[in-house]
Structure formats: C-alpha cells, structure tokens
Amino acid sequence: MKVFFIGSSKMGTTSITNALKEKGLRVTHTPHFGVYSHLTEPNEAFFSKFDYFLDGSLHNFHHLTTWFPDAKIVLLDREPSRWILSMFNWFSHIDERHMSDDKAIVRLSRLIMGKTVYRQILIDWLIYRKRVLHFFKDDPRFIHISIEDGPNEWKRLMRHLDIQLEIKWDNKQDKKSNPEWVSKIVTEAENKAKHASVVYPEVSQQSIRDRLFLYAMEVLRKDFIRERHLVKNIKAAGKINGWSHLKTYRTSLTHIFKFARVVGCLGLRIVVNRSNRLSPYIY
C-alpha cells in the first residue's frame, strides 16, 4: 500500500519522515515526488522503491489516485500566517525565535524574494488546499491533518494509517505576533482563494506554459537546495583547488550559471501560473 502526503513543506514532514524511518519503513522525503506526480505516466523506478512519500511541493493528486487507486492520501495543514512566516524564515536562514522585522537579513530576504513571491506562494497553497478538500470530500482514503493540534492529530493520523509512530514534533515558532506584512498578504491570499475554482487544471505536454512549468519544476528540484549557498560553494571551491587554479574558476562559473537559472525559474513559476494553478516552489 502506498501513502502519499500531498501537502507542503514546513508542516511536520521531517518529523513524520523520521518517525517512519525509525519503524524501518520505506519512506522518501524528496522534491522528486512533486515532479513525478505531474508526469503523464508513473515513474515505476521511483515509485516502486518506497511506500511512504513526503516532500515539500504540491502535487497532481488526480494522477496519484489514478495510478494507485488503493493508496491513502494525507493532507497536512497549518494556520496560514504561521505557515508563511515559517516558509519566510526558512528562506531567510535564521532561527524562527529570532524573527524580527528589523533584522538586516530579513530585509535582504524580502528584497530578494519580495512580498509578491510569498503572497503568490500562499495563494497557491490556499487554492490547492481548497481543490484537494473538494476532490477528496467523503473519500475514506483521505485524511486532513492540522499540525497546530499535534498530539490529537497524530493519533488520528496513526489510526488512518493503521500504524504506531513516535512523532516528535517541536514547533519552535514561538513569536507571539506576526510582522505587519504577513497579516496583509494572508488577507489578500484568502480573498483570492475564496473566488478560485475548485477545478484543478491538468498539465498538458502540448501546452508551452505547462512545458515551461515542468522545466521549472525539474531545475528547482535539481539545483535549488544546493545553489542557494552560492557564496559558500564558491569559497569551498577556492579552498579545495586554490584560488589561482583554473578549476576553481570553472566551478565558480558553473555555480553562478546554475544560481542564475534557479533565480530565473523562481520568476518563471509566477509567469507560467495559469488560472491560479499551483506554482512549482520547491523546498
């Protein structure tokens, strides 16, 4: 039996993954999952390796339920302002308990990513959640879990999966108030999602927009996690090979090219967003 967690990152996926691994189960926590769920045919080499699938992107749940009609589906959820603040914090690479609007790194992150990107990410999530809940309404394969109420929800999850897990969820986000901009984009995103269709547009290989969408998914899957450490990667190359070595410059240029491509794909995710379909943000 397959179990698909079709929510987003920063919703307890790491804690659940660790609990499943401790039981010796076949589990994967990877962005590949989001990419493969948008293909027209299932990638047998990937799906046959695991029974539990978690990752930090959104999915084409229509394909998953068609390919695996007996699978169980789990949607992890979180209060929007706490979730988007956690996402913002993650991108800023600072501990959540130090979150503050007057931090220079926070201002830098907002300058690079922009409130528009976080607003779009939140809109994508709220519309996606709306479509998931509509699609799986009264479906016994499906369960909707809010991680805000950890212990009680974990019990519901374990009953649904018919398994006992030791889930150690430590929510470190103890900031009592959100920055003003968070509340504003949450309100804007909720209003946008309220009027969105419950129909999930299919991804077509014949559509140029959709092919760009899949390309962006693939690039972000391969390069995003590594190339976000651009300066660190270049310094490492210099220390290993020496700053005067030709290999250092070739490696540095490669990282710069990939970094530019990742930034371009982060912009592309908004450009190719059609009818507020999910956008390919990858953790």
- pTM of the model as a whole: 0.78
Hey, what long-range contacts does 254-257 have (CB within 8 A, 24 or more apart)?
A: 255/227, 255/230, 256/230
Please report how many Cα atoms fall inside a 13 Å half-sphere around the Cα of residue 47, on the Cβ side: 18
Instruction: Report pLDDT digits (tens) over 174-229.
Output: 555 567 778 888 999 999 889 888 887 776 777 887 788 778 777 877 777 677 77
Structure tokens at 55: 């990752």
For residues 101-112, b (16+ Cβ closer than 10 Å) or e, as one string? eeeeebeebbee
Question: What pLDDT is recorded for position 114?
Answer: 64
